[in-house]
Amino acid sequence: MGLDLSTLRTLISRYCAGEENWVDSRTIYIGHKEPPPGTEAFIQQRFPDNRIVSSKYTFWNFIPKNMFEQFRRVANFYFLIIFLVQLIIDTPTSPVTSGLPLFFVITVTAIKQGYEDWLRHKADNAVNQCPVHVLQHGKVICKQSRKLRVGDIVFVKEDESFPCDLILLSSSRDDGTCHVTTASLDGESSHKTYYAVQDTKAYNAETEVDSIHATIECEQPQPDLYKFVGRINIYMNNEPVARPLGSENLLLRGATLKNTEYIYAVAIYTGMETKMALNYQSKSQKRSAVEKSMNAYLVVYLCILISKAFVNTVLKYAWQADPIRDEPWYDQRTEAARQRNIVIRAFTDFLAFMVLFNYIIPVSMYVTVEMQKFLGSYFMMWDDEMFDQELGERAVVNTSDLNEELGQVEYVFTDKTGTLTENNMEFIECCVDGHVYVAQAICNGQVLPGADSMDMIDTSPGPEARQREELFFRALCLCHTVQVKEEETVDGIKQGIHRGKSTSFYISSSPDEVALVEGMKRLGFTYLRLKDSHMEILNREEEIERFELLEVLTFDSVRRRMSVIVRASTGELYLFCKGADSSIFPRVISGKVDQVRARVEHNAVEGLRTLCVAYRPLSPAQYQEVCLLLSRAKLALQDRDKRLAEAYDIIEKDLILLGATAVEDRLQEKAADTIESLHKAGMKVWVLTGDKMETAAATCYASKLFHRNTQILELTTKRTEEQSLHDVLFDLSRTVLRQHGGMSRDVSGLSGDYMDYGLIIDGATLSTVMKPGQEDSNSGNYKEIFLEICRNCSAVLCCRMAPLQKAQIVKLIKTSKEHPITLAIGDGANDVSMILEAHVGIGIMGKEGRQAVRNSDYAIPKFKHLKKILLVHGHYYYIRISELVQYFFYKNVCFIFPQFLYQFFCGFSQQPLYDTAYLTLYNISFTSLPILVYSLIEQHINMDILKKDPSLYRDIAKNSLLRWPIFIYWTLLGVYDAIVMFFGAYFLFDNTTFTSNGQMFGNWTFGTLVFTALVFIVTFKLALDTHYWTWINHFVIWGSLIFFVVFSLLWGGIIWPFLNYQRMYYVFMQMLSSGPAWLSIVLLIIASLLPDVLKKVIWRSLWPTTTERIQMKRRCLASQPSTIFMLSQTSSRISF
Amino acid sequence: MMASSYNAKEEDGHHSGPSSHGGAGAVKSKKPDNTAFKQQRLPAWQPILTAGTVLPAFFVIGLIFIPIGIGLYVTSNNIKEFEIDYTGVDVSSPCFSCAKNYSWDSTTSCTCSVNFTLEQPFESNVFMYYGLSNFYQNHRRYVKSRDDSQLNGDRSALTNPSKECEPYRTSEGQPIAPCGAIANSLFNDTLVLYHVDSNGTKISIPLAKKGIAWWTDKHVKFRNPGGNDNLTIAFQGTNKPVNWRKPVFELDPDDRDNNGFINEDFIVWMRTAALPTFRKLYRIIHKKSSSTPTLASGRYILDITYNYPVLSFDGRKRMILSTISWMGGKNPFLGIAYITVGSICFFLGVVLLIIHHKYDSRNSSADIPN
């Protein structure tokens, strides 16, 4: 194609010419119409089609790609290497022994991933083939979604979702707006309004739209859903008109059109370049502390493995230095083997030893751990207690990798709004120039200002005050981004809103705004709707007032305020601004600041959320200036946000204070109880909030984070203004350390009588503390001092935090020298950064959208569920997985160490002790299920006790069950068992007969004897550790032993036709026919288990842990005359 | 889990739509089932290992193990065993010259006689073993050097033995039957036992050569190549192992059921020993009548046809005579081990009792049975 060639040429020339500035932005020809000649020569770029590919594989590349992905994991790669070594060199065990398990694992994973990918293919196909309407040559035609191209004009009808990212050109509404719900993107079900480009909004018929001649320049796709910068050049009469484009013009793929009959829009990002697709890229993976311990153990075992192989190789060559030993006449090498170079031979021997001992790091451990995590996480989802009736939601597990980390949490970072509190805002009062209006005291639109107790209330407001009051109400009715959810006609809304909520209601992304607008309604001013850029208000006299909405200076968390510029019907221009007190007061030039400030502070202490309202009358000239500023900022392609912020800063000044509002955010159910439990469990709870200090502190008191006797240390801007940060920090640390001077630090937290400290810090101070000091060497220490103070405080409140600061704090604690495990919990988009940063991120299914839930590792409906998820589930998961990990290493030491010892008796010839089938199946079937079941349903203590007694959580803190001493204990236990088994069998076999017919047993019987003892010992060891014997445990433990016996009988019972060896033929039966074999197996089992039982019993008696004490107490309470005799469990199946 | 996120999210968004409007259907479907399993409340037995519960177990184990151990020890001590080394390392030993002048090629076999005296009579059946030391039958290269299919009478394996048999797979261009290092090194000393009675006459003691191999080995695992009654023809086209003097079908020409692969001496040898010092059952001396001992005390002569060289690898050869009880041959280990473990358990039981009374006497009344 000539066109393609020319495109290619231009591409090449472009890159050669080095026009790199084009790389940052793209140019789109609406309707694929070339711009009129003479304008800038744009270069046609190539864009992908609208095919969504979420699948990873195609039919052809599945096998190689999947294999590659799987073998990229270190463990799989290790096993592959072992398998290849077995294939290549002459090794003691057949390649089947490691190939079969590996093959099994790889196949199961491949099937699982293949299935998932198939589902994705199906979903992709459904999406890619769904029909979309595209305008071509003035006609709407139907196209498959995947054939959509950048520049196509798309026609979308109501309730359809957008096929790609679009720029709204026009809609069925005259004002060029459309309503969209982004529920499937960020979960916010509210309707958002998007705006068409002003110059094209009139073109809302097929032919009209087709006649639009314009190009769009915009940035290349970015994953940020809420950011978009672009420019549209419209060629009217060949004169390009440039207009800014922002995120309010961009309709995202996945969102759905609502309440709008149809729209025309042009595709700008398609396929995998849509913002939705860019957002589906996976997050970085978190690893749990247990996994880290496990990997450390693996390294240890790898070292053991290598040293074992090395020692054996060296010994082998030392031993066979004597040629008689090397090649006795009865056991000659082949000529080829004899010719081989000694170095190669030694290396091959080393590899062969590696292969022989490789089972010490079993494939099945990874599979079992994965399965345990995956299956175990279902218990969390199934938990009835974590189901919230009201929301109809239950806990969600986004990653099962961190289950056990829930049992290790030391620091909890929680958001306040929506997490500790309900985020169910209720308008409480407003204060206009010191006159307090309480919403409850209003009936039928009549204002009864104030309750009696409020001394500031002036009961007879003068006419001027009344005017101010009405201005205040109007300001609140106008300064917001609330939408009216329309159900019926305009009249319907009018009636609906006025008479009751049944037909229509307000929707906003911020619940505060809804609360305020609803509060205003109760005070007599009803916001009706936004129509043709006019906001309509129903005032107390049932008159509709119309204000033209000129500009909205949207809210952002840095400015912490928003403004609107409106023109009243009288023609006066106003700027209404509402925001946090700290961001309003500095900009106020008049008004009753002191009274309002007093009221605001009073309310904040009460735990109410306060907002200040101010206004600024604008003269037409000022407005012109404002317009200019804004449009200039909006038109900018680069740094638009920064320039907008600067413009806002200039505009929102010289305000006149009107008053303040107070909205209550109630505490979540059982929030205080949960926090108290977390405290008792030894966790430090930090509240990170964007709210102001007083409000946040009040919430902290209410939620029992601070007690009455907590001494509050403040590290706020207020204090640092008086003293230097340096002095304040040292002061505080002195206070804290003086307290701890007398007593050793680890006692802290256990006894209740010592002084409790609570720290309050605000965002500004925090950033100075965190700032890396360049010239000042001291400032580096600030962090340390700050951490030192924090360590000694039981509760910390960080207020006035920006989202990123939240993450910073989490990171600061995470990387402090103790490396504590952190948990972040939050519900809103502003918590996402901290949720991602913390070891465990928990999302609350709150009202502020789904972003937190989406990015979290676990999501729970309510804050109170944190208690169960940590104290019960986390505790269980930790206990279970730690036993799983330790036991797996233990059982493989038991398994392999006898084989190592055997080398000393077989001339270091790599002769395996066990038969191939036993080597293969030991980890796969003889000993796998009991531990899996244990790790799924073990409960060392009942759930209710765990919940009732949070201090039990301290028993497992700091990864206590996977510390090195315990690991070494398990390993030594394994070595001991191995020695007992091997030498037990050795002395039994030593140059004697143990059958009653005088016949002799061979080496396979020797191995089988050891193996039989091994399987029983290892299984009984687990049985001894099991505290919770359900029928499943019984079934699996006894079942796997029976399976072992049945398998052995079968394996030795017949001559297997396709095997080239029959060494196990009747070996097991012959062994069972011998009395001493039975006796020695029993002896070996008892002797092996003895030390462990003894250790357990003595430790429990002499140094019991809290857990063990509780277990005993329970037993004592529930004790019945019945005896529990561990070694005869089969007969006794008592269930409490 | 991560992999399926795309679908999950699509669904997610889909659900949140209706549920926000308070759809009752969505609520129902998400409510978890209230079953005992899903709520982790399955009825369970919750035992705890405490001094109190373990105590009785320790005493019971002690009380059971000690008598068993004593029984085993006594049984083991009652077993008569006689062992004689006939390797011929010393100049004084009768087999010295045989051992010294050994060569594989010699056509005439060297014989020697060892005199010994049994102090005590052997009452029940006596089992005669030969023992080898420092012989690594469990060496990997050795253990795998066999072809079980060939030994099972598989015709194709007979003419084309497994590669594992190398370098004992073929000789002179013909496949070896039985192939491999194990078969090649078959123990070929002949031991004959004479009783020297009071007047000096040598009375040959009948040595039964049947019943020394596992029944299943002899009847199932090992089979002569079928199709022909005449073993010479059956083994045609194969060569004898290089170290053998005679081919496999002449191992026991007198007894067709003990010839070829199903020769019991051969089968016994083919079961590789677990440790480098081992014994293998050679012959059985059956008890004739209840009145006379199987082997009376007195002087005996062991006639050895010395074919098997062991000195080259510093090995030793022994002849062992042993009676057998229900628990096999003489092995004091098991008895001692039982007594030791039993005593330890008993002792630990006492220790635990003290600990229990001192530290958790609170619970003692509830936990100690009886």
pLDDT in tens, A817-860: 888 999 999 887 778 778 888 999 999 887 666 777 877 889 99
> Annotation-wise, does A843 bind a ligand?
no
Q: Residue B141 and residue A54: Cβ atoms within 8 Å? A: no
Q: Helical H runs in A222-341?
A: 275-279, 289-319, 323-326, 335-339
Test B139 with A387 for CB contact under 8 angstroms. Answer: no
User: What is the rounded distance in angstroms from the CA atom of residue B209 to the CA atom of residue B187?
Assistant: 15
Q: Which of A289, A282, A284 is nearest to A823 (CA)?
A: A289
Q: What residue in A sits closest to B126 (Cα-Cα)? A: A998
- The nearest CA of chain B is from the CA of A377 a distance in Å of 11
How far is it between the farthest Cα atoms of chain B?
A: 116
Whole-angstrom distance, CA of residue A599 vs CA of residue A433? 10
CB pairs under 8 A between A and B: 376
- CA–CA dist A370, A1027 (Å, integer): 23
- Per mean pLDDT, which range of A636-640, A715-719, B353-357 is the poorest? A636-640
Quick count: other Cβ atoms within 10 Å of Cβ A796? Answer: 25
The answer to whether B68 contacts A1079, with C-beta atoms less than 8 Å apart, is yes
How much of chain A exceeds pLDDT 70, in percent? 85
pLDDT for A146-191, tens place per residue? Answer: 888 888 888 888 888 888 888 888 888 777 778 787 766 655 555 6
Chain B residues within 8 A of A911 when measuring between CB atoms: 138-140, 143
Nearest to A748 by CA among A655, A679, A654: A679
Percent of chain A with pLDDT over 90: 20
- Cβ–Cβ below 8 Å for A392 and B139: no
Residue-wise pLDDT for A58-74, tens only, equals: 888 888 988 888 887 77
Inter-chain touch B49–A1029, beta carbons under 8 Å = no
Closest among A316, A365, A178, A526 to A886, alpha carbons compared: A365
Q: How far away is chain B from the Cα of A333, in angstroms, using its nearest Cα? A: 7
Which CB contacts under 8 angstroms, 24+ apart, belong to A557-560?
A: A557/A690, A557/A802, A557/A803, A557/A830, A558/A645, A558/A802, A559/A583, A559/A645, A559/A648, A559/A649, A559/A652, A560/A690
Of A58-72, A415-429, B208-222, least confident by mean pLDDT is: A415-429
Q: Are A349 and A316 in contact (CB under 8 A)?
A: yes
Residue range A424-446+467-486+504-666, CATH number: 3.40.1110.10
Instruction: Specify the amino acid at residue A828.
Output: G
For residue A609, say whether it is annotated as part of any ligand binding site: yes
3-state secondary structure of A53: coil
Q: Which residue has the tokens 């159900």?
A: A487
* Chain A: residue whose CA lies nearest to B368: A1123
Inter-chain residue contact A1060 with B149, CB threshold 8 Å: yes
Picking from B26, B72, B137, the nearest residue to A392 by CB comes out as B26
Report, at the CATH architecture level, how domain A396-420+668-737+756-770+783-860 is classified. 3-Layer(aba) Sandwich (3.40)
Chain B: closest CA distance from residue A730 (Å): 47
In this complex, which of A117, A189, A911 lies closest to B16 when CB atoms are compared?
A: A189
Q: Where is A522: in which H helix or E strand? A: helix A511-522
Averaged pLDDT, A201-213: 80
Nearest to A908 by CA among A301, A352, A339: A352
| Chain B residue with Cα closest to A94 | B144
Subunit contact A1065:B217, Cβ cutoff 8 A: yes
Residue of A54, A1029, A1075 with shortest CB distance to B6: A54
Q: Where in chain A is the domain with CATH 3.40.50.1000?
A: 396-420+668-737+756-770+783-860
Rounded to an integer, what distance in angstroms lies between the CA atom of residue B354 and that of residue A113? Answer: 59
**Residue A535 to residue A566: CA distance in whole angstroms:** 9
Which of B45, B49, B220 is nearest residue A1093 as measured by Cβ atoms?
A: B49
HSE-up of A354 (CA within 13 Å, CB side)?
Answer: 20
Chain A residues whose CB is inside 8 A of the B348 CB are: 1090, 1094
Q: Write the pLDDT tens digit of every residue in A936-967.
A: 999 999 899 999 889 999 988 888 889 999 99
Residue A405 has pLDDT above 70, yes or no: yes
Partners of A655 in beta bridges = A588
Catalytic residues of A: 415
Instruction: Please list, in sequence order, all residues whose beta carbon lies within 8 angstroms of the beta carbon of residue A498, skipping any fewer than 6 positions away.
Output: A526, A538
Say if residue A578 carries a ligand binding annotation: yes
Tell me what percent of the residues of chain B surpass a pLDDT of 70: 87
**Looking at beta carbons, which residues of chain A come within 8 Å of B7?**
119-120, 123
Q: Which of A921, A1131, A1129 is nearest to A1040 (CA)?
A: A921
The span from the CA of A986 to the CA of A590, in Å, is 98
Annotated binding residue A830: yes
DSSP β-bridge partners for residue A538: A526, A544
B16 pLDDT more than 60: no
**CA of B357: which chain A residue's CA is closest?**
A1101
What pLDDT was estimated at residue A506? 78
Residue ranges of chain A that CATH labels 3.40.1110.10: 424-446+467-486+504-666
- Give the span between the Cα atoms of A952 and A945, in whole angstroms: 9
More confident residue, A559 or B115: B115
Strands A795-799, A756-762: pairing is parallel
What pLDDT sits at residue A451? 39
What SS3 class is residue A138?
Answer: coil
Compute the nearest-CA separation of B316 from chain A (Å): 13
Contact B42 A1001 (CB under 8 A): no
Q: Is residue A1079 pLDDT above 60, yes or no?
A: yes
Annotated binding residue at A117? Answer: no
Is residue A771 part of an annotated ligand binding site? no
Model ipTM value: 0.91
Q: Which two tokens stand for residue B369?
A: 């049975």
Name the range with the highest mean pLDDT among A109-118, A194-203, A705-714, A919-928: A919-928
Cβ neighbors of A122 (< 8 A, separation 6 or more) are none
CB contacts of B56 in chain A (<8 Å) are 1123, 1125
Please tell me the distance from the alpha carbon of residue A779 to that of residue A791, in angstroms, as a whole number: 19
Q: How far apart are the first and last CA of chain A?
A: 81
Name which of A200-209, A456-465, A870-879 the model is least confident about: A456-465
The shortest CB-CB distance from A1000 to any of B146, B277, B281 is to: B281
Residue A417 annotated as binding? Answer: yes
Alpha helices, DSSP H only, in B96-190? 96-100, 140-143, 148-151, 155-159, 181-184
CA atoms within 13 A on the CB side of A1070: 26
Task: Write down the pLDDT at residue A191.
Answer: 65
Q: How far is CA A599 from CA A448, A574, A698, A926, in A?
A: 18, 25, 15, 73
A415 annotated ligand binder:
yes
Measured between beta carbons, which residues in chain A are less than 8 angstroms from residue B49?
Answer: 1024, 1093, 1096-1097, 1100, 1126
Contacts of A1069 in chain B (CB under 8 A): 216
Option in B162, B181, B337 nearest A1060 (CB): B162
For residues B158 and B177, give the distance between their C-alpha atoms in angstroms, rounded to a whole number: 6
Nearest by CB to B39, which of A383, A392, A906?
A383
Write out the H or E segment, with its range, that includes residue A144: strand A139-144
Cβ–Cβ gap B136/A1102 under 8 Å: no
For B232, the token pair is 């010479």
Instruction: Report d(CA A452, CA A574) in Å as an integer.
Output: 34
- Cβ-Cβ contacts under 8 Å for B15 (sequence gap 6 or more): B26
Element (H, E) at A230: strand A229-236
Question: Residue A37 pLDDT > 70, yes or no?
Answer: no
Highest mean pLDDT: which range of A529-533, A568-572, B342-346, B358-362:
B342-346
Q: Which residues of A touch B278 (CB under 8 A)?
A: 991, 1000
Which chain B residues touch A120 with a CB distance below 8 Å? 4, 6-7
Gap between the terminal Cα atoms of chain B: 54
